[in-house]
Structure formats: structure tokens, C-alpha cells
Structure 1
């Protein structure tokens, strides 16, 4: 893998790391190391004064583990404990759809006003909100870094009786984003090395 340069003002977008994703509703997940890698990257961003965007999904679907009235709407403890701890800018975005770019307040405006052209995505789910945000970011002209081991997803059933495991979906996302040049798929280690002073 090429050496990754992380810009001094690169934003970290932490997507939907919420307690509701621990619910059995979602099924089997992949990547047991996801939370550890997310935490390491958040810590590095906060230590170096880079901007961090925390994103929360407020599901409009009744009974969803992520509905605003549900306990599952809250951030997981390791994320909540880190909010407000950084030395750089911090933003909370809430959304009801997959892309963070359709959340409130407007992410694209916030990034552009801050002169930010690069961002890193971590969080949940790899092939859903993370991938959708990466695709939109690439379309909008951002340099998107996608550390594939700092996120996770779940097994999924689709049409025609087709099913795919979380690992297969993760690989498909990685190939689509990287091969389609929407984002650069990297590892958490690549990102951490790229922020070294």
C-alpha cells in the first residue's frame, strides 16, 4: 500500500457508532477489531487538533433500535466518552438517511467553509452509511480515505434469495469504492502512520 498522507486539517467522520447496533435485530457482524481501531483513530485526531464530526442516525422507522426514543439511539460509550475531548473543531450531525451529506447541519458547507478537502470515514455500517457517504464525498470532489478495518457491517439478505456475509459485503464495498475511485481504501494503521508528526 502507498504511504498515505493525511492532511493537517483532514476531518474524521465517525458514522453511527450507536448502541442500537448491538441489538440482535441486525444479525451477525464482522470485524471484532472495529471499535478498537475506531477509538485509536479518534484519539489521534483529538490529540493532533484535527476536526472530528460525530454522526448520529435518528431512524424515522417505528421500532428501530436507532429511533430517537430508543436507548439504542445513544452513542456507544467509547465514543460518548471522547466527545468534547479534542483540541480541534467538533461537529455533531444528525441524519435520517444513509448519507451524512443529507444530515443537519450541512456537512458539505461546514467542510468547505473550513477549507477541508480530505476526510476519513470510520463507523457503522461499512456497506450502508459509510459507503454512501464515501461515494457522495468522492462525487463532491473530496479526497476520501476509508480505513476498512475501522468499521463493520452485518450479514444481509437481498433479492432472489441471495445472501451475502458481512465479510463478503465488506470486500465488495472495498472493491467498488477503491476500484471506482470514489475513495482510497486503506487500513487504520495506514491512517495512523499518515498522521505521524
Structure 2
């Protein structure tokens, strides 16, 4: 296996749907709180290395008010320099301007984390692949509707799209 190399200036961390109600769901194999903790560690490291952090949140379209718990968990709230994206479909690229905003920053690679692996994360990964991004998947910084669904995505789908690794490997690659 080749060494993971991450160039902070051309790589963005995309943190998907770490909203109170989603983090509180019964997911597997990693608890929502663990996904938040690992994603926050990644976000801090990306910021420190001069990388871009994209914080994605989902809103249900066509409703007057979003369900309770639709706000982001505090640990993932966007900071100065981060990109904030509100999506109305499963993937973070559809009608959000995300690709254009990343392109303006010279971003050609993405590290994806968040919830849930086999919905928002996978849908965003497929769209990112269609836009020719190099993709990295720290599998312990995401979780599925259940462990089997997570395993299927990280063992069968994500290797076709990019590199499956761990949070610690991404942190090491950032230096």
C-alpha cells in the first residue's frame, strides 16, 4: 500500500450532515459522537495546515420549518475561512455551487467524513468522482444506517472512487 499524501492547499475536508438529530440516530459501526469527535479532529488539523473545511448541512425542501435538531453540532460549526453548504438532496454538489467554490480555491482532492456513510457521504462521493476529485475516505470518521451498510460502502464502493483509510492516517499525512 502506498503512503497517503495530502496537500493541504489543494485538499478540502468535507464534513457531511453532523446535525443534532442525525448525530443522535442509531448508526453503525461507529457512534455518532465518535464520528463528531473524529471529524472535529480532522477539521482542526485541516485548518492548522491551511486546508479548506467544508461544513455541509441538510435541509428538507418545501417545508416551512426544519425538524427539531436540524442545527449543526457545536463541534462542527463553520469557522472563518470555512465553506458552509446547505443541501436539499443527498449529495452536497447538487445545486449548491460547491464545485465552483472549490474550484475557485484550486481544490482537486476531498477527504469525506460525516453521516451517514451510505446516504449523504456516498452520494456526495459519487458526485465528487463525477467532478474528477481525488477522494479519501477515513472510514472511522463516518458511520452508516447500520454496520453492514457502512461496510458495503467502504469495502465495495469507496475503493472504486478513491482511497479508504483512517482518521489517524489522514492526520499523519497532514503532518
Q: TM-score, normalised by structure 1?
A: 0.80
Partner of 2:73: 76
**Residue 68 of structure 1: CA displacement?**
4.8
Give unpaired runs (5+ residues) of structure 2. Answer: none
Partner of 1:161: none
**Residue 28 of structure 1: CA displacement?**
4.8
- Does the CA contact (< 8 Å) of 2:112 and 2:125 recur in 1? yes
Q: Structure 1 residues 103, 123: CA separation in 2 closer, same or farther (over 3 Å shift)?
A: farther
* In 1, Cα distance between equivalents of 2:83 and 2:65: 19
Partner of 1:159: none
- Does the CA contact (< 8 Å) of 2:8 and 2:46 recur in 1? no
Q: TM-score, normalised by structure 2?
A: 0.89
Q: Which has the higher helix share?
A: 2
- Does the CA contact (< 8 Å) of 1:134 and 1:183 recur in 2? no
Give the root-mean-square deviation of aligned CA atoms.
1.9
Q: How many residues align?
A: 172
Partner of 1:90: 82
Give unpaired runs (5+ residues) of structure 1. Answer: 155-165
* In 1, Cα distance between equivalents of 2:23 and 2:60: 15
Q: SS of the counterpart of 1:136?
A: helix
* In 2, Cα distance between equivalents of 1:98 and 1:90: 21
Q: SS of the counterpart of 1:71?
A: coil
- Does the CA contact (< 8 Å) of 2:27 and 2:143 recur in 1? no
- Does the CA contact (< 8 Å) of 1:3 and 1:190 recur in 2? no
**Residue 71 of structure 1: CA displacement?**
3.0
* In 2, Cα distance between equivalents of 1:152 and 1:39: 15
> 1:46-69: CA deviations, max 9, x gaps?
21221111111002376xxxx853
- Does the CA contact (< 8 Å) of 2:4 and 2:173 recur in 1? yes
Partner of 1:30: 29
